[in-house]
Structure 1
Amino acid sequence: MLEVRNLKKSFGNRQILDGVNLTVKDGEILCIVGPSGAGKTTLLRCITGLETPDSGDFFIDGRKFDPQGTEAPDRVIGVVFQDFKLFPNLSVMENITLAPILVLKKSKEEAVADAQKLLEELGLNTKGNLYPYQLSGGQKQRVAIARALAMEPKILCYDEPTSALDPNLRKDVANIILGLKKDGMTQLIVTHDLEFAQDIADDILRVQPLDQRKAE
């Protein structure tokens, strides 16, 4: 279970997050929805260690952890970026195996075997030798998911997983996320698409700009 307690973040004089609390139970999907400027992506970046919060605490299964930490107990969260962020000069297989070899210290043989299993599960078993420019948007996203899963996270986070895709791929994304849920993966998803969130989420956290909340 992931818990975030009293998370605060400002940029200059602008308060973006002011005491945010959330809980994601094991194996469940939490969607964070709200308009632009509400702090959805900032919240996700703090949880995944890409942004330094001003204050707040993070817990996994009751144990405090540092999303920016480099020790093994802190490496519990994977992230799938909105624009995928695949390395263009590396093949699909190399994109997936790079971090497990460098960070998890897996042998190349073990990393490749694990990556091939992930590619098969995601319907990409023939794409390992291709490069990102040879893939469709949906295929790039599945590679990004495989790359995140290769680091064996306890929780997988997504930033706007449907925004960079053709609308008819929305159902495919939902099926992948729900398939991972069946496998027990805890997932946290930032999305502007309320209908998509309602289709997949166990719980929905609705956020709005801080100045609007204060006005109310």
Structure 2
Amino acid sequence: MLELKNITKRFGNKTIIDQLNLKVKDGEVLSIVGPSGAGKTTLLRCITGLEKVNAGEFFIDGQPFDPYTNRTNESVIGVVFQNFELFPNLTVMQNITLAPTMVLKQSADEAQKQAMALLTRLNLADHADQYPYELSGGQKQRVAIARALAMKPNVLCYDEPTSALDPNLRQEVEKLIMGLKADGMTQIVVTHDLTFAENIADEMFHVEPNKA
């Protein structure tokens, strides 16, 4: 279980997140929803270690955990970015195997075998040698998911997973998330799409703008 206790995040004199408490149970999907500017993405960036919190604590399975200073954070909390952020100069296979070989110290053979298994599962096996510019938006997103899963995270986070895609791909994303849930993956999804959020979530967490 991932637990946040009294998390506070400020930018200058502006408090974006104020003493927030949150629990995400193992194997469940949490949807974080709220209006633009309410702090959804900031919260996700704090959870994934991309932003340092001003106060508060994180726990994984009851053990203290600091996502900002943890050097192998991707192996604990993975993230699929809104714009995917694939390396344009690397093939699909290279995008997926880079972190496991550098951070987890997997052998090249082991990393490639794992990557191909993920690509096969996500119907991307035929695209292993292609570059990101040769892929559709939906394919890029699946590569980004495969890249995150290759680090074997405890929790997988998504920032607005439907916003960069054609609306008719929303169901495909839902199926992906629910398939990972069936495998026991704990997932956190930031989205402005309430219908999508309700379709996938075990729990909904509403973020409101801080007026202080």
- Fold agreement, TM-score > 0.5: yes
% same residue? 65
Paired letter, 2:151: M
Map Cα deviations across residues 30-50 of structure 1 (whole Å, 9 max, x no partner).
000000110000000000000
Q: Judging changes above 3 Å, is the alpha-carbon distance between structure 1 residues 20 and 69 closer, same or farther for their aligned structure 2 residues?
A: same
TM-aligned CA deviation for residue 68 of structure 1: 2.0
SS in 2 for 1:123: coil
Pair 1:88-2:59 in alignment: no
Pair 1:18-2:18 in alignment: yes
TM-aligned CA deviation for residue 69 of structure 1: 3.0
User: How well do the aligned residues superpose, as a CA RMSD in angstroms?
Assistant: 1.2
- Counterpart CA distance in 2 for 1:116 and 1:74 is 19
Map Cα deviations across residues 122-168 of structure 1 (whole Å, 9 max, x no partner).
11011100000000000000000000000010100000000000000
SS in 2 for 1:161: coil
- What TM-score results when the alignment is normalised by the length of structure 1? 0.96
Pair 1:114-2:120 in alignment: no
**Partner in structure 2 of residue 185 of structure 1:** 185
Q: Give structure 2 stretches of 5+ with no counterpart.
A: none
- Counterpart CA distance in 2 for 1:181 and 1:129 is 28
Aligned 8 A contact 1:69 1:75 in 2: no
Count of matched residue positions in the alignment of Structure 1 and Structure 2: 212
- What TM-score results when the alignment is normalised by the length of structure 2? 0.98
Pair 1:197-2:189 in alignment: no
Aligned 8 A contact 1:67 1:75 in 2: no
SS in 2 for 1:19: strand
TM-aligned CA deviation for residue 75 of structure 1: 3.8
SS in 1 for 2:146: helix
- Counterpart CA distance in 2 for 1:176 and 1:204 is 19
Q: Judging changes above 3 Å, is the alpha-carbon distance between structure 1 residues 31 and 154 closer, same or farther for their aligned structure 2 residues?
A: same
Q: Give structure 1 stretches of 5+ with no counterpart.
A: none
**Partner in structure 1 of residue 68 of structure 2:** 68
Aligned 8 A contact 1:67 1:74 in 2: no
Moved more, 73-82 or 15-24: 73-82
